[in-house]
Amino acid sequence: MDETNRAMILVLLLCVSAAKLAEGQTLDVCASCHANATCENKLDGSGKVCNCNYGYVGNGRTFCQDKDECQIGAHRICGPHTTCHNTYGSYYCTCLSGYRPTNNINVFIPNDGTHCQDIDECSTTGVCGDRALCRNLEGSFDCSCQLGYQIHNGPEPFNPHTNKAFCKVVDCGQPASVQDMVLLSVSRTTYGSVAIFGCAEGFVWRSGDNSSVCGADGLWKGPTADCEEILCGDPPILHHTGQVWNGSSTPGSTVTYFCKTGFYHNEGSNISVCTNNGYWTKPNISCKEVDCGVPRPVPDSVMLWDNIATMGSQVVYQCKSGYYNVGGGNVSVCTASGEWDGASLRCQEINCLRPVFKPNAKMLWDGTSRLGSVVYYQCEEGYYTRSQRNYSKCGENGLWEEIGLRCEAKCGPVPLLANSEVVWHNRSVVIHRCVDGYHSWRGSNVSVCGSSGLWEEAQMKCIEIKPPINHLFVINEKCLHWKAGKYEEDTEVYKVTYVGSRDYQRSFHDKRNTFLTSKADQLELCLNLLPFTNYSILITAVSAGFTATITTNTSLPAPPAPGVYYKEFETPVPTLRLRRSRNALDPISLYQVFVLPLEGIMMFDCSSPASLHPSSKMKSSTEYITAQIDVRHVGTEMNFTVGDGLHYGGFFNAPLEKGRDYYIILRAVSQWKTVSKSTCVLWAKVGGISYVLKVSSAASAVGLVPMIFLGGYIFIWFFKKT
Ligand SMILES: *[C@@H]1O[C@H](CO)[C@@H](O)[C@H](O)[C@H]1NC(C)=O
Ligand SMILES: *[C@@H]1O[C@H](CO)[C@@H](O)[C@H](O)[C@H]1NC(C)=O
Ligand SMILES: *[C@@H]1O[C@H](CO)[C@@H](O)[C@H](O)[C@H]1NC(C)=O
Ligand SMILES: *[C@@H]1O[C@H](CO)[C@@H](O)[C@H](O)[C@H]1NC(C)=O
Ligand SMILES: *[C@@H]1O[C@H](CO)[C@@H](O)[C@H](O)[C@H]1NC(C)=O
Ligand SMILES: *[C@@H]1O[C@H](CO)[C@@H](O)[C@H](O)[C@H]1NC(C)=O
């Protein structure tokens, strides 16, 4: 707190204490009035009173505050378009901007009748500038551009005091080009300026305005003129003419005329032009029809012409009779250039020259070779004519006619081939065929009459048809023989299959095969056939695919000699030992023991006592069979006692007579059904010895049996002992 404030507070404190002090005594009222109060007498006169001054409110002593008259609103206290200004204890009014007080003093108190009036700013010239129009408003004004001017730098309307907007004259700029028109003149381009247009070249004015005006909106208005294109249309058509025209019918376009084919340009201009007034100029071309006149003659020809000589007309030339065209066209045509063209023929007299030579033929000819000349042909001796015609004429083509004449040799009677017959023949060809049983082999079957007059005979040979295997037979039960029915050097492969079977031995089966390759015509093949077997033999000629069969059977062989040793006995009941020999034919073998009473010179036929049956009578009364033994009942060996009185195989083994000498013969027999073969051996001599047995040297050398076999016979010689 500074010094002055401290002093004031001190003063205040003094005053308050002074007042308190006075109250207690006689109080001076006026001394206590507020600085802004006035001490007045009470209305009732009973003293003084402090009243706050005019414009203040309060108790008049301690508190007098300024009263704000403007608080209720300028409009109500000062009137319309005013501003209220409060002051200590009072107030005053002023007009709002744009208004002025009627008392013409700036500050006023309304109660003197003063009020605020609108100021007309537009009354002052040049407020908005010389391009704008002023408009007065209540309390203000605004500006807008005059016609022909446009606002710049701001919106319209504008206030020149508050914004920078200003008005500028309208400028439409250079007028735009207009279709079908041209700009003729333009002075200025600002508002109201006029541009003059005219119709473009090739166009004509029909209606409307040619001018264009720059409007207030900155745009050109117009022109409204209607310019129509000048067209000449289609060019005129003239007789016998064609046109060369690009289709344009604007002024200056041209069309060129030409004469159609068959006509030619005689005179006049052939060009027409489209003028500015829309018409084609008249072409004065003149086309005349072509005339070729009378055709030119061709030597040695006739002309066929209908007397028309316009373009395209034809004339035909023909060589006259006896002449022919040696080349070139024979038609002439009237051309566009007025000339006959095309015929290039030349007619020459026909000359056939020498007639054609024919082999083996004579010519009868008068030497001329003109059209119609004739030559005759005659075949020479030994030849005959083969042709429909024997003469030829000189033809229009300059050639002798082709008559196909041939002179062919006469070969005489048809040739004959061995074993063949003629199927068909004419004078130059014979067809042969082999007779039945023969077939053709290698070579043609056609004989041809040669040009020399001799038959060229067919190469064919007729060969007897024979099977590839024939004359098949078997020799010596062993060797096959056959003839090959094949050709020359051909090699044939033969497959021989043989199957053997035996009735008496069911299990037996002998199947074998063998091959033979040979070129021979006569063939022999020896097979290893087993005895007493039926064979079925199959021969196949492999390449020919032919098979022949034959059956053969091998004979029953004589059984092998039984294994015995010759013995001599002095007893009437000798026991003899027999060794069995192995024999393939066992099932059909048997042994027989013969007893021969000794009587001078004897001959024993091994096969003679054919009957093997016990009941059959012996041819000889002396010899007999004493036993018959089936070989199957013999083991490896057997002892047999002669005269033991037993029966063997149905034969009675009769006892031998004492004092008599006997020979015992053993016979081995192979037999099947009616077939039999036997082998005999002298087994023993029994009894008293009365004769000396002379043995052949061969037998004695072996020291075996004193007997000789001759074709199945046993001869025994006995000599008296010396
Ligand atoms: C009295 O009024 C005047 C002006 O009107 C002012 O300046 C002054 O301060 C007032 N006195 C007091 C004590 O309020
Ligand atoms: C417009 O211009 C054409 C020439 O382009 C003229 O022939 C015509 O008379 C003009 N029209 C007017 C209305 O002036
Ligand atoms: C005989 O016949 C043959 C074949 O048909 C044939 O080509 C030939 O011209 C004939 N010959 C004759 C003289 O008729
Ligand atoms: C062979 O065939 C004949 C007839 O079929 C027959 O009688 C004969 O016994 C046969 N021979 C052999 C050894 O089989
Ligand atoms: C061979 O067999 C045939 C029957 O196949 C027969 O007729 C013929 O007599 C037999 N010959 C011999 C020797 O067996
Ligand atoms: C046959 O007789 C001989 C002696 O004489 C004897 O050795 C042999 O065993 C006999 N054979 C048979 C099969 O009886």
Instruction: Return d(Cα 397, Cα 379) in angstroms, integer.
Output: 27
Cα 89 to middle of ligand 1, angstroms: 10
The mean per-residue pLDDT over the stretch 107-128 comes to 85
The rounded Cα 366 to chain-centroid distance in angstroms is 72
Whole-number pLDDT of residue 195: 94
The 3-state DSSP class for residue 697 equals: helix
Distances (CA, A) of 243 to 230, 234, 270, 286, 665: 22, 11, 9, 14, 153
Q: Give per-residue burial for 573-599: e unless 16+ CB within 10 Å, then b.
A: ebebebebeebebbebbbbbbbbbbbe
Instruction: For residue range 282-335, list pLDDT tens digits in order.
Output: 888 888 888 899 998 888 999 999 999 988 899 999 988 888 888 888 899 998
**Best residue for ligand 3 mutational test, from 385, 406, 423, 426 (most atoms within 8 Å of Cβ):** 426
Distances (CA, A) of 334 to 1, 258, 331, 397, 600: 148, 20, 10, 29, 153
Whole-number pLDDT of residue 27: 66
The mean per-residue pLDDT over the stretch 466-488 comes to 87
Q: Is the confidence at residue 661, as pLDDT, over 90? A: no
Q: Is the confidence at residue 366, as pLDDT, over 90? A: yes
Farthest CA pair distance, the chain: 255
Contacts of 357 (CB under 8 A, 6+ apart): none
Structural contact between residues 415 and 398, judged by C-beta atoms closer than 8 angstroms: no
Ligand 5: residue whose CA is nearest its atom 8: 553
Structural contact between residues 408 and 454, judged by C-beta atoms closer than 8 angstroms: no
Cα 556 to middle of ligand 5, angstroms: 11
Structural contact between residues 182 and 192, judged by C-beta atoms closer than 8 angstroms: no
Residue type, 39: C
Instruction: Return d(Cα 539, Cα 96) in angstroms, integer.
Output: 163
Whole-number pLDDT of residue 702: 29
Structural contact between residues 695 and 578, judged by C-beta atoms closer than 8 angstroms: no
Q: Is the confidence at residue 514, as pLDDT, over 70? A: yes
Atom of ligand 1 lying closest to residue 34 CA: 13
Residue bearing tokens 């060009």:
271
Q: Is the confidence at residue 680, as pLDDT, over 80? A: yes
Whole-number pLDDT of residue 608: 67
Whole-number pLDDT of residue 373: 92
The mean per-residue pLDDT over the stretch 352-371 comes to 90
Looking at beta carbons, which pairs linking 215-221 to residues 24 or more positions away fall under 8 Å?
215/170, 215/172, 215/191, 216/147, 216/148, 216/170, 216/191, 217/170, 218/150, 218/170, 218/171, 218/172, 218/173, 218/191, 219/172, 220/172, 220/175, 220/176, 220/195
Whole-number pLDDT of residue 543: 85
Q: Does residue 553's CB lie within 6 angstroms of at least one atom of ligand 5? A: yes
Band of the pLDDT at 712, cuts 50, 70, 90? Answer: low
Secondary structure letter of residue 10 according to DSSP: H
E strands, 438-587, are 438-441, 446-449, 455-456, 461-464, 469-475, 479-484, 492-501, 510-518, 522-526, 534-541, 546-553, 567-569, 575-579
Cα 82 to middle of ligand 1, angstroms: 28
Ligand 3: residue whose CA is nearest its atom 3: 429
Instruction: Please provide the distance, in angstroms rounded to a whole number, between the alpha carbons at the two ends of the chain.
Output: 225
| Other CB atoms within 10 Å distance of the CB of residue 466 | 13
The mean per-residue pLDDT over the stretch 80-87 comes to 90
Q: Is the confidence at residue 719, as pLDDT, over 50? A: no
Q: Does residue 36's CB lie within 6 angstroms of at least one atom of ligand 1? A: yes
The 3-state DSSP class for residue 699 equals: helix
Whole-number pLDDT of residue 692: 41
**Best residue for ligand 2 mutational test, from 196, 203, 205 (most atoms within 8 Å of Cβ):** 205
Which bound ligand lies closest to the C-alpha atom of 500?
A: 4
Whole-number pLDDT of residue 588: 76
The 3-state DSSP class for residue 457 equals: coil
Cα 35 to middle of ligand 1, angstroms: 6
Which pair of tokens denotes residue 217? 């909106």
Cα 271 to middle of ligand 6, angstroms: 164
Instruction: For residue range 213-262, list pLDDT tens digits in order.
Output: 999 888 999 899 999 888 888 898 888 899 999 988 888 899 999 998 88
Q: Is the confidence at residue 708, as pLDDT, over 60? A: no
| Other CB atoms within 10 Å distance of the CB of residue 608 | 15
Q: Is the confidence at residue 397, as pLDDT, over 70? A: yes
Instruction: Return d(Cα 552, Cα 548) in angstroms, integer.
Output: 13
Structural contact between residues 60 and 51, judged by C-beta atoms closer than 8 angstroms: yes
Q: Does residue 429's CB lie within 6 angstroms of at least one atom of ligand 3? A: yes
Instruction: For residue range 139-156, list pLDDT tens digits in order.
Output: 889 999 988 898 888 888
Atom of ligand 3 lying closest to residue 427 CA: 13
Instruction: For residue range 91-112, list pLDDT tens digits in order.
Output: 889 999 889 988 888 888 877 7
**Best residue for ligand 4 mutational test, from 477, 537, 553, 585 (most atoms within 8 Å of Cβ):** 553
The model's pTM: 0.40
Q: Is the confidence at residue 511, as pLDDT, over 50? A: yes
Whole-number pLDDT of residue 620: 52
**Average of per-residue pLDDT values in the chain:** 83
Residue type, 139: G
Whole-number pLDDT of residue 668: 87
Q: Is the confidence at residue 22, as pLDDT, over 50? A: no
Q: Is the confidence at residue 337, as pLDDT, over 80? A: yes
Q: Is the confidence at residue 697, as pLDDT, over 50? A: no
Residue that wins the pLDDT comparison between 177 and 488: 177
The mean per-residue pLDDT over the stretch 581-602 comes to 77
Atom of ligand 3 lying closest to residue 386 CA: 13
Whole-number pLDDT of residue 485: 81
Percent of the chain with pLDDT over 90: 29
Atom of ligand 2 lying closest to residue 227 CA: 5
Percent of the chain with pLDDT over 70: 88
Residue that wins the pLDDT comparison between 235 and 620: 235
Which bound ligand lies closest to the C-alpha atom of 532?
A: 4
Whole-number pLDDT of residue 26: 52
Q: Does residue 63's CB lie within 6 angstroms of at least one atom of ligand 1? A: no
Band of the pLDDT at 700, cuts 50, 70, 90? Answer: very low
Cα 179 to middle of ligand 2, angstroms: 15
Structural contact between residues 273 and 280, judged by C-beta atoms closer than 8 angstroms: yes
Residue bearing tokens 């005179």:
267
The mean per-residue pLDDT over the stretch 607-611 comes to 59
Atom of ligand 4 lying closest to residue 553 CA: 1
Q: Does residue 532's CB lie within 6 angstroms of at least one atom of ligand 4? A: yes
- Which strands sit side by side in the sheet containing 602-605, from one edge to the other? 602-605, 713-716, 708-710
Q: How many residues does the chain have?
A: 722
The 3-state DSSP class for residue 715 equals: strand
Q: Is the confidence at residue 614, as pLDDT, over 60? A: no
